[in-house]
């Protein structure tokens, strides 16, 4: 979106941010944000800003991977623009190869000379295996992202997992698999630390019971070769809010005479898709979904209501884990999240689970990242599902066409939270009121998160109200500002999205402001995501 569109939407950016003492404000603000600079929550793990790429639809093939002989500009087969954009947002981590695909994948199909790799039916689509471990590691090395693999628990034995670790991490010349890796282009070990033990193992990952999955998990992580790299194992968490899965897994893993120690487990995976927009009329997987583009005001708010539930999942899983892991050595990995709409809005019909991304999805993404920041002591990994041409994508591509979505802009705005110290921020604003199936409903009026890195405070805020701006007084407790920069993502049309023909319909606007003081005032535009970067004196 260009600056003119912002002004047309009634938002005079730069004119509305004022630092002052309370007496200076002639009229009362309708909202208040108090940033408690001396109340740290924890360091925001950069990996919370991670991404998910599955061998699905056009995520890898035609998305990330175009091949070395493609007319699409590429580095070693990887689309150049995606490398540049991932570097821009400092993408810290990428999860691969699934998703459900992971538990049907034989990693040995994706190594060796590309022309000699087998073609498989694949879980989601035909799998040519031209993109395998060496190519995924190329993507990670070119972008600086940490790899996060998901192992196959459903259909491969633990020995195959050991061998995958060996291929990735064994020192050169130390084993046949290390030599194969060298022939595949990397004499040096990949030093892969993060390993998911399966994916959604209550469902596509094997239909296990929690007790069975606990047994598999224990077997997979026992005496795995580490080659000097401390491995971080992530266990597959529950389907939705099924806390039984969490409790029973913990009981069989960490309880009783034959318990293993929580310190041996790095993370507990949580997946939360915002898909059920039926407001209780049905919970059918297909029927309950909404449309990515054709939505009314109720569905605008419904997405945020559903998206908010990930905070309940964080809290409920955290307290259930605490029954067996009092010191909270196991952190949470929200490694799949985003909106999931009905099929029909993909940029090409061949893009399985592809959909358009609107301003609504940007607000949902910002809302999710703010939740993770507010729980920086609990959440160690996040992976937005999925990176390109799929669900909550940051990018859409088709052959040589490539655009960034509103979700990308949120990651770009929020990157200053990575590695920063999250501090408590209290929000108070009039609640949104709207009609939900002929009954009046309400939703929070302003929410966000705050973090401090050096002398810079990053305050990110979502105003979900579709039509009303919120005028907020922002108090910095135990601190004072010397200047600020404001970045805003909004549009007069809540359905706004980017297309190949109009790639900048939704984009950010930034303005610098030179003022000082412990109190500031800002008008948050309707339907917006805002970042205030405040220099602290």
Binding site for ligand AHR (CB under 6 A): 54, 98-100, 199-200, 336, 385-386, 391
* 196 vs 464, beta carbon nearer ligand AHR: 196
User: Which residue carries 């999955």 as its tokens?
Assistant: 213
Which CB sits closer to ligand AHR, 228 or 344?
344
Residue among 135, 146, 216, 336 flagged as catalytic: 336
State residue 325 phi and psi, 5-degree precision: -135, 75
Question: From the candidates 135, 200, 302, 306, which is the catalytic residue?
Answer: 200
Nearest distance from residue 525's CB to ligand AHR, in Å? 32
Burial bucket for residue 267 (CB in 10 Å: 0-12, 13-18, 19+):
buried
What is the C-alpha to C-alpha distance for residues 52 and 149, in angstroms, rounded to an integer? 10
Using the structure block, give the residue that is written with the tokens 């087998």: 118
Residue 207 vs 442, nearer CB to ligand AHR = 207
Least distance in Å: CB of 350 to ligand AHR? 16
CB of 123 to ligand AHR, least distance (A): 8
What does the alpha-carbon distance between residue 109 and residue 118 come to, in Å, rounded to a whole number? 6
Going by the DSSP 8-state scheme, the letter that residue 33 receives in this structure is E
Q: How far is the CB of 391 from ligand AHR (least distance, A)?
A: 6
Nearer to ligand AHR, 19 or 268 (CB): 268
Report the DSSP pairing between strands 519-524 and 78-79: unpaired
Kindly state the smallest distance separating residue 259's Cβ from ligand AHR, in Å: 28
> Which has the closest alpha carbon to 398: 346, 435, 362?
346
Closest-CB residue for ligand AHR?
99
Residue nearer to ligand AHR on the CB measure, 147 or 448: 147
Q: Give the residue with the Cβ less far from ligand AHR, 389 or 533.
A: 389
Query: How far is residue 220's CA from residue 228's CA, in Å, rounded to a whole number?
Result: 18
Contacts of 260 (CB under 8 A, 6+ apart): 218, 221, 253, 254
Least separation in angstroms between residue 199's CB and ligand AHR is 5
**From CA 526, how far away is CA 456, in angstroms rounded?**
26
Nearer to ligand AHR, 199 or 389 (CB): 199
Calculate the CA dihedral of residues 11, 505, 404, 420 and round it to 10 degrees. Answer: 0
Q: H helices then E strands: how many in the chain?
A: 11, 24
Reported as half-sphere exposure (CB side, CA atoms, 13 A), residue 360 has a value of 29
End-to-end C-alpha distance for the chain, whole angstroms: 33
How many CA within 13 A on the CB side of residue 344?
A: 9
Longest dimension (CA), the chain: 75
Rounded Cα distance, 163 and 172, in Å = 15
Quick one: tokens of 84? Answer: 């540049």
| Residue among 396, 488, 385 nearest 64 (CA) | 396
Neighbours of 500 (CB within 10 A): 12
The label of the residue with tokens 């034995």 reads: 157
Q: Is the separation of the CB atoms in 35 and 459 below 8 Å?
A: yes
Clarify whether 336 is annotated catalytic: yes
Give min distance, CB of 294 to ligand AHR, in A. 22
Q: Which is nearer to ligand AHR, 392 or 488 (CB)?
A: 392
Q: In the bound complex, what is the minimum distance in angstroms from residue 52's beta carbon to ligand AHR?
A: 7
**Cα dihedral across residues 288, 99, 271, 143: positive or negative:** negative
CB of 386 to ligand AHR, least distance (A): 6
If the CB atoms of residues 339 and 362 are measured against ligand AHR, the closer one turns out to be: 339
- DSSP codes joined into one string, 394-419: SEEEETTEEEE-HHHHHHHHHGGGTT
Give Cα 444 to chain centroid, integer Å. Answer: 22
Q: Among residues 144, 227, 128, 133, which one has the least CA distance to residue 184?
A: 133
**Two tokens, residue 507:** 């984009």
Catalytic machinery residues: 200, 336
């Amino acid at each position: 979106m260009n600056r003119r569109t912002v002004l047309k939407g009634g938002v005079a950016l730069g004119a509305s941010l004022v630092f002052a003492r309370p007496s200076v404000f002639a009229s009362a603000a309708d909202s208040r944000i108090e940033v408690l600079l001396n109340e740290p929550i924890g360091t925001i793990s950069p990996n919370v800003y991670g991404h998910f790429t599955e061998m699905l639809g056009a995520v890898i093939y035609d998305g990330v991977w175009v091949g070395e002989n493609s007319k699409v500009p590429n580095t070693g087969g990887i689309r150049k623009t995606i490398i540049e954009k991932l570097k821009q947002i400092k993408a810290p981590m990428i999860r691969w190869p699934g998703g459900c695909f992971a538990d049907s994948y034989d990693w040995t199909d994706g190594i060796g000379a590309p022309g000699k790799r087998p073609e498989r039916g694949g879980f989601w689509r035909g799998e040519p295996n031209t993109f395998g471990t060496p190519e995924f590691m190329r993507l990670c090395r070119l972008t600086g992202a940490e790899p996060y693999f998901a192992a196959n628990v459903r259909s491969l034995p633990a020995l195959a997992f050991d061998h995958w670790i060996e291929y990735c991490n064994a020192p050169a010349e130390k084993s046949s698999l290390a030599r194969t890796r060298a022939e595949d282009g990397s004499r040096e070990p990949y030093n892969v630390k993060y390993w998911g033990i399966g994916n959604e193992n209550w469902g596509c990952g094997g239909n296990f019971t929690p007790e069975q999955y606990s047994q598999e998990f224990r077997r997979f992580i026992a005496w795995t070769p580490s080659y000097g790299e401390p491995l971080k194992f992530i266990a597959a968490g529950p389907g939705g809010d099924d806390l039984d899965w969490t409790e029973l897994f913990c009981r069989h893993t960490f309880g009783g005479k034959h318990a293993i120690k929580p310190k041996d487990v790095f993370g507990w995976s949580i997946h939360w898709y915002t898909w059920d927009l039926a407001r209780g009329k049905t919970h059918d997987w297909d029927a309950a979904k909404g449309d990515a583009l054709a939505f009314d005001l109720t569905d605008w708010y419904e997405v945020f209501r559903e998206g908010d539930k990930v905070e309940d999942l964080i809290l409920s899983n955290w307290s259930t884990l605490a029954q067996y892991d009092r010191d909270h050595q196991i952190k949470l990995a929200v490694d799949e999240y985003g909106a999931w709409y009905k099929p029909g809005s993909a940029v090409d019909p061949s893009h399985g689970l592809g959909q358009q991304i609107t301003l609504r999805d940007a607000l949902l993404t910002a809302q999710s990242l703010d939740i993770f920041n507010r729980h920086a002591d609990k959440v160690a990994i996040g992976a937005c599902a999925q990176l390109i041409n799929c669900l909550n994508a940051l990018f859409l591509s088709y052959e040589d066409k490539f655009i960034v979505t509103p979700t990308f802009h949120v990651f770009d705005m929020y990157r200053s939270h990575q590695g920063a110290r999250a501090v408590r921020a209290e929000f108070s604003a009039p609640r949104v009121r709207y009609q939900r199936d002929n009954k009046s409903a309400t939703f929070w009026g302003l929410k966000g998160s705050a973090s401090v890195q050096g002398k810079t405070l990053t305050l990110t805020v979502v105003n979900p109200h579709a039509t009303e701006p919120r005028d907020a007084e922002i108090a910095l407790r135990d601190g004072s500002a010397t200047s600020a920069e404001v970045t805003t993502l909004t549009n007069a049309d809540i359905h706004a999205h980017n297309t190949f023909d109009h790639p900048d319909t939704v984009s950010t606007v930034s303005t610098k402001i030179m003022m000082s003081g412990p109190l500031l005032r800002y008008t948050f535009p309707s339907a917006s995501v805002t970042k205030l970067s405040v220099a602290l004196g």
